[in-house]
Structure 1
Amino acid sequence: MVLVVPPDGPVTRVCTAGVVPVGGRQRRKGRVEVTGRINEPEDDCRGGPDADTAETTIALSGDGSCIAEARHQATAFLARHEGGHRTRVPARVAGLAVLVVSELVTNACKYAPGPIRLRLRLGGEALEVEVWDSDPVLPAASGADPERVGRHGLEIVQAVAADFAVLRDTVGKWVTVRILLSPS
């Protein structure tokens, strides 16, 4: 599923079942979101809610050292919830999640000045990785080019994600990736 968020138009949620209009924007915790957040059940896009969730938010400095810190914090969060949490995180998914965190935080460090916020949310059938940065420019994956060195991060993230969304905020943007715990 992909959320398409034009600057001054209707918000649309695209999923494998078709195009589902999303009711509009709402304010929550100081950020602009769409009605029907990416981690909530949405018509034909996913199943029912799961009350058993774990979440952490990490403030990062935005300098080069924050990439390793983000990977470390993500690994620690996943390890804390692997055994005792009702939702078990398979090692393969944990590895993919750390890769996604690394790529998104690297992009934020590279293209956005200032601090970065990383949010990890584990619950139900998926792990959600959200990264906020101060740059309002929405990221776009480059076209496939085997000759190109570098700039493959967003392509990698989209390849492993069940859902990928970018939402503009009052300042900057949120990039949200949803990784299924039991990919089919």
Structure 2
Amino acid sequence: MQEARIARITHTFESGKGSASHARSIAAEFLGRLPGRRGAAVARRVVESTELVVSELVTNACKYAPGPIVLELHAAGGLLEVTVWDREPSTPTVRTADPGRIGRHGLELVVAVAESFEVRRAPVGKRVTARIVLDDDADPAQTQGG
């Protein structure tokens, strides 16, 4: 039995323009170095979902929290944890779907593509974490009943 590979990266940056795009690049590079199922590259769908989650979480932190902002990516056991820490103590709320609402759909998207989503208060600020399934075969949405 092979031991599960654990990989982690942490990046700290000040909020401001370009932070979300920089965070997406960090995530894509991180996933590009991870072996996917049976040694193949991580599926493009997983990379795109991760970029979406990272972009939304970092954008929210940049918009609503004073810097610095910490992005942590942690892969283990077939899951990728995307965590964004910021100094703003108020927690975000996932709104119910409303096709008439313009904007403010970011967390809805995160919840839709993530295996799980949680917000935890920290001694200073909060940590927002989304978990994404790394292997397509392990993704319940990709499995057909029968």
Q: Please say whether Structure 1 and Structure 2 have the same fold, judged by a TM-score greater than 0.5.
A: yes
Worse-matched range after superposition: 116-125 or 50-59: 50-59
Instruction: Decide whether aligned partners of structure 1 residues 168 and 86 sit closer, same or farther in structure 2, where only a CA change above 3 A counts.
Output: farther
Partner of 1:123: 76
SS of 1:158's partner is helix
Paired residues, number: 134
Q: Distance in 2 between matches of 1:115 and 1:165?
A: 20
Looking at structure 1, the residues matched to 6 and 46 of structure 2 have their Cα atoms a distance apart, in angstroms, of 17
2:16 pairs with 1:63: yes
Which of structure 1's runs of 4+ aligned residues deviate more than 6 A?
none
* Alignment RMSD (CA, Å): 1.8
Gaps of 5+ in 1: 1-49
Aligned residue for 2:120?
A: 167
Structure-1 residue corresponding to 2:63: 110
CA distance, structure 1, for counterparts of residue 116 and residue 41 of structure 2: 20
* SS of aligned partner of 1:166: strand
Match of 1:183 among 139, 142, 145: 139
| Contact persistence 1:87–1:124 (CA under 8 A) | no
TM-score by length of 2: 0.85
Please give the residue correspondences for 1:133-148 in structure 2 after superposition, counting only pairs within 5 Å.
Answer: 133-148=86-101
Q: Which has the higher strand share?
A: 1
Q: Aligned partners of 1:72 and 1:180: how far apart in 2? A: 19
Summarize the alignment of residues 151-162 of structure 1 with structure 2, pairs less than 5 Å apart.
Answer: 151-162=104-115
Unmatched 5+ residue regions in structure 2? Answer: 141-146
Query: Aligned equivalents of 1:180 and 1:88: distance in 2?
Result: 14
Distance 2:74 2:53 in 1: 14
Distance 2:116 2:108 in 1: 13
Identity value in percent: 50
Deviation of 1:88 (Å): 5.0
Paired residue secondary structure (1:150): coil
1:136 Cα offset (Å): 0.5
Comparing both structures, which one devotes a greater share of its residues to helix?
A: 2
Partner of 1:44: none
* Larger relative contact order (CA 8 Å, sep ≥ 6): 2
